[in-house]
């Protein structure tokens, strides 16, 4: 049995015969005192859950642990992991392909703080881990989605936070 689908974001803006580009991802939800651990882009003023693409030969949890350390500078307590759900995303990719992404969200706790290991674009964006107010994240992401190169990602993160509020995980 697969992970429950939280919602789908499908933009039919790709050509029917466009080549497929499939890039699943794993994302971490850490909640403490009604704040949520997010990665903030200082350059582009948006928030995202720590996480990212699952590399070839990697399982979702290995990707989650690797990405959380790279982007947020944390080691995840592997015994704390619980599935939350999946967001299905389809749209025209940046190279004109038909981009498909399953985004696997997991609850987890921080085992320890380490150093961030940002790649070039993450460093250029000024990725910074922050304990954020969920309503502020939702407002910021929805306000800035139209000007961003990846509006669907910003909307996705806002919708996941809204669902966490609706389901009683956050206020």
Structural domains in the chain plus CATH codes: 5-166 (3.90.79.10)
pLDDT of residue 22: 87
> Over the stretch 17-60, which tens digit does the pLDDT of each residue have?
888 888 899 999 999 999 999 999 999 999 999 999 999 999 99
Of the pLDDT bands very low, low, confident and very high (cuts 50, 70, 90), residue 1 is low
User: Which is nearest to 36 in space by CA: 114, 138, 112?
Assistant: 138
Chain segment 61-87, per-residue pLDDT in tens:
999 999 999 999 999 999 999 999 999
Q: How far is CA 53 from CA 65, 108, 128, 169, in A?
A: 12, 18, 18, 25
List the structure tokens of 72. Answer: 């947020």
The pLDDT assigned to 64 comes to 97
Q: What is the DSSP letter of 26?
A: E
Mean pLDDT of the chain: 93
Taking alpha carbons only, the member of 112, 121, 104 closest to residue 39 is: 121
Half-sphere exposure of 21 (CA within 13 A, CB side): 13
Mean pLDDT of 137-153: 87
- Segment holding 165, helix H or strand E: helix 151-166
């Amino acid at each position: 049995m697969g992970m429950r689908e939280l919602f789908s974001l499908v933009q039919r803006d790709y050509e029917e015969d466009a080549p497929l580009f499939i890039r699943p991802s794993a994302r971490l939800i850490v909640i403490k005192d009604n704040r949520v651990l997010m990665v903030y882009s200082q350059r582009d003023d948006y928030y995202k859950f720590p996480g990212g693409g699952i590399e070839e030969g990697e399982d979702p949890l290995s990707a989650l642990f690797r990405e959380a350390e790279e982007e947020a500078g944390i080691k995840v307590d592997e015994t704390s992991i619980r599935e939350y759900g999946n967001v299905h995303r389809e749209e025209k990719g940046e190279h004109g392909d038909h981009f498909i992404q399953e985004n696997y969200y997991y609850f987890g706790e921080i085992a320890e703080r380490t150093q961030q290991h940002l790649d070039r674009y993450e460093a250029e964006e000024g990725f910074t881990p922050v304990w954020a107010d969920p309503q502020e994240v939702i407002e910021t992401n929805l306000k800035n989605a139209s000007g961003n190169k990846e509006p669907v990602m910003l909307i996705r993160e806002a919708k996941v936070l809204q669902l966490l509020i609706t389901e009683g995980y956050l206020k």
